[in-house]
Structure 1
């Protein structure tokens, strides 16, 4: 199992829309997240920042992420959520949400 943390900002006028979308995530989206070996997934909000945390239990992260990205329902979901988001300038070229370095963990 590997833990992942990432961060992105929200557009100020889209905060309530983003929260509304996530108050009723489509069942197909939740199923795809599980199918792609993601568990214990949370998104936190503070001062226009979103922090995402999840645990990956699969064997091929890149392949699972490709599977998720190619899913038609996920693509529709992202059409709704992506306009709410404002990616960090410091993210890498291939990222939407910026990856974070884990500097401490306690079980």
Structure 2
């Protein structure tokens, strides 16, 4: 299954540069957590302060709720997320207390 999410960054060039730098060397425990929960691939793109994440998952093993619960009990993942929140900002459409928000697909070339 493919999921697409959006999130914003704080509008500060030095913070954005540091965010990108950290993503060139994501902590191994964070990468392991992602892979162990059925995420086959994950890419993040940036345009200005807007981030766009594409995540491909294994339908047989991926469970978003299970992954989120495991993240809450994983010290490294919690520390990574706390660090990332120093750079991230909710989009104008993000409900309180949430970060990455699923995007709605409005076009698929394969349907034509």
Same fold, TM-score > 0.5, yes or no: yes
* Stretches of 4+ aligned residues off by more than 6 angstroms: none
Q: So what's the TM-score if we normalise by structure 2?
A: 0.83
Q: Is the 8 A contact 2:37 2:63 kept in 1?
A: no
CA distance in 2, matches of 1:43, 1:59: 19
Who is 2:72 aligned against? 69
The alignment status of 1:12 with 2:11, answered yes or no, reads yes
**Unpaired stretches in structure 1, ≥5 consecutive residues:** none
**Alignment size in residue pairs:** 106
Q: Which runs of 5+ in 2 are unaligned?
A: none
Instruction: From the CA coordinates, give the structure whose radius of gyration is larger.
Output: 2
Aligned-pair distance for 1:94? 5.3
* Aligned-residue RMSD, C-alpha: 1.7
Cα distance in 2, alignment partners of residues 31 and 68 from structure 1: 11
